[in-house]
Amino acid sequence: MAKILFITATNTNIGKTYASTKIIERLSNAGLKVGASKPIETGVDTIPQDAYKLLTAVKKNNVNFRDFTPFDITAYSFSLPSAPFVADSNGIINISKIIDKIVQLKSLCDVLIVEGAGGLMVPIKKDYFMLGFIKDFRNGQKRLLTWVKATLKAYLGLPYLIGGKLNSSNLEGFLRRKA
């Protein structure tokens, strides 16, 4: 069964995509089939750029993603560069659709990198934040791996890595850890 690595941070434009692509490279070099999902991306003119970067990294080693476009790994994309709740002016975001997308992509890999939108307290819907999505998703899955600041452990009681230097020993140990 594939493991999920949820990438989040404290804000937008803070390096989540960069960290995600480096994790994808490291895990792929270790022989794992890695996939990626950017469930919600805002500030999209024509192509979701974060999803494009993630997918480009994944396609190098996972044939299951070779025919995908950035839209195939994104449940929602919006042109307004803001929190998903604000960008979604028509109120179309459906959390079940996001979870279905993640579950579909998870079946195509050993590890699925899921990159959140903005930071932990970014609203996805009115009174529903990224932090709540992570918690709800975790409750609906047997395993969830997260890459977050140590403070997230206090909120959810999840295993975590402190953002920073990746090396083979801490990443391999993290992948063996049970949620």
CB of 129 closer than 8 Å to CB of 122:
yes
Single-letter amino acid, residue 66: R
Q: Determine the Cα angle at 154 with ends 148 and 158, to 5°.
A: 55
The number of beta carbons lying within 10 Å of the beta carbon of residue 172 is 13
38 part of the active site: yes
Separation between Cα atoms, residue 73 and residue 58, nearest integer Å: 11
Separation between Cα atoms, residue 56 and residue 65, nearest integer Å: 9
Which is catalytic among the residues 3, 16, 33, 38? Answer: 38
Q: Element (H or E) spanning 36, and its range?
A: strand 34-37
Residue 49 CB contacts under 8 Å (≥ 6 apart), including other chains: 41, 70
Give per-residue burial for 79-118: e unless 16+ CB within 10 Å, then b: eeebbbbebbeeeebebeebbebbbebbebbbbbbbbbbb
Catalytic residues: 38
